[in-house]
Every structure is written in C-alpha cells, then in structure tokens.
A and B are shown apart, each in its own frame.
Chain A
Amino acid sequence: EDKVVQSPLSLVVHEGDTVTLNCSYEVTNFRSLLWYKQEKKAPTFLFMLTSSGIEKKSGRLSSILDKKELFSILNITATQTGDSAVYLCAPLYNTDKLIFGTGTRLQVFP
C-alpha cells in the first residue's frame, strides 16, 4: 500500500530557530517528491525534487531527497512567524497522482 509518513506531527519553536521536517514514503513507480505549504486552505507549492542528493533552496527554505532510503527533509533556517503553517510532503507517482502525508504543523512564536 502506498504511504507517506511525516514527522514530527507538530512543532513549536521561537523566531530564529532552525527546524527540520521529515518525510518518508513508499510508493510504486515513484517520479518526484513535492513539498507544499498550507496556511489556510490552498496548499502552495514549495519544491519539486526528482534527483537524489541535489539540494533545492529558496531563501531560508531548502530540501533534499534520498531516493535510496526513500525520504526527504525540509529545512527552514531563521524561522519567522510567517513560516507558521502545515507543511505537506507529496510523492508523485504512477499516472501523476500525488499522495499526501498528514503534514507537520509548525508554529513559530515571537
């Protein structure tokens, strides 16, 4: 059965802290792994990772994929209150379906 496990489920930090969010997956015909940020209703796209070991960066956010060990991490450095959101990991597989994890709820306090 295809599945995605994210950890931790919830994280509370202070501004300026660095956080690491984890995503492990088991899917058939894996193609890519996507990270989304969900603040209210609509998830917004962060990264698409297709190759192992190549770090993608966007400002204070970075992500890397390990296709051998079937996991990905999302790092956020110097966190800000605006980073508070649910972060969703979603492997893309088969006929371009996305399967989402439960997400990690990040709360950043001043």
Chain B
Amino acid sequence: EAGVAQSPRYKIIEKRQSVAFWCNPISGHATLYWYQQILGQGPKLLIQFQNNGVVDDSQLPKDRFSAERLKGVDSTLKIQPAKLEDSAVYLCASSLDLGSRRSGYTFGSGTRLTVV
C-alpha cells in the first residue's frame, strides 16, 4: 500500500511569511494527525482529525496555525505569519480508525521548515 505522502520536503521562508504543507494519508485511513518535531525533541501533536472533523486541536497555536481536511482525505496545515521558533519538521500521520490495535500509526516523511 502507498504510504503517507507529504509535500514539500523542504521549505525555507523568512519570518512573518506564510507557508502551507500538504498531506495525503493512506487510502481509507479515517484518522489524520499533524505533529511538530523541533530538533532534539519528540514529535508534538498539533491537531487530530477523524474524517473531516477535528478531534483535538488543543495544542495548535490558533493565532497563527490553521489546518483543514476537506472531504476527509487530504489535509493542509498553514502557518501565517511564521516565527523563527516554528522551524521544525512537520509530520503527518494516519491510522485506520480510532483505537486501531493492529499497528502503529504510519508517518509521512515530513516537511522540514526553516524560518530565517
């Protein structure tokens, strides 16, 4: 099966600019996650979707970050305006359903964002 697809792979922007990341989960996976991983730290959950509804966005900095999952498939994560501390790898993951116990979540290769 095809994996979780993310683009772009790398992005360099100046602070105060905006940026968008795209994720296409594994076909049929209802749950989609966006994680932020700052260098030297573990991934931190930003937002979790179940189909096209938000399950948890408690750690999403909503003053500058937004995410959507139209039609319950692809998702985009946007940052506007970006700050230096947003430099990180942004990982998208998907799972078959809430409470799937057959395997862990599948992660995409991530987008490395550098804000200068």
Contacts and interface: CB of A to CB of B under 8 A. Distances in A.
Interface in B50-99: 55-56, 89, 91, 95, 98-99
Contacts of B35: 100
B95 A41 contact: no
Interface residues of B, number: 28
B62 to A, nearest CB: 18
Contacts of B98: 95-96
B107 A43 contact: yes
Interface of A is mostly: strand
* Size class of the contact patch on chain A: 20 to 34
Contacts of A101: 42
B78 to A, nearest CB: 20
A41 B45 contact: no
Contacts of B45: 97-99
Among the interface residues A31, A32, A34, A97, which one has the most CB atoms of the partner chain B within 10 A?
A: A97
Interface of B: 31, 33, 35, 40-45, 48, 55-56, 89, 91, 95, 98-101, 103-110, 112
Interface of A: 4, 31-32, 34, 36, 40-46, 48, 50, 88, 90, 95-103
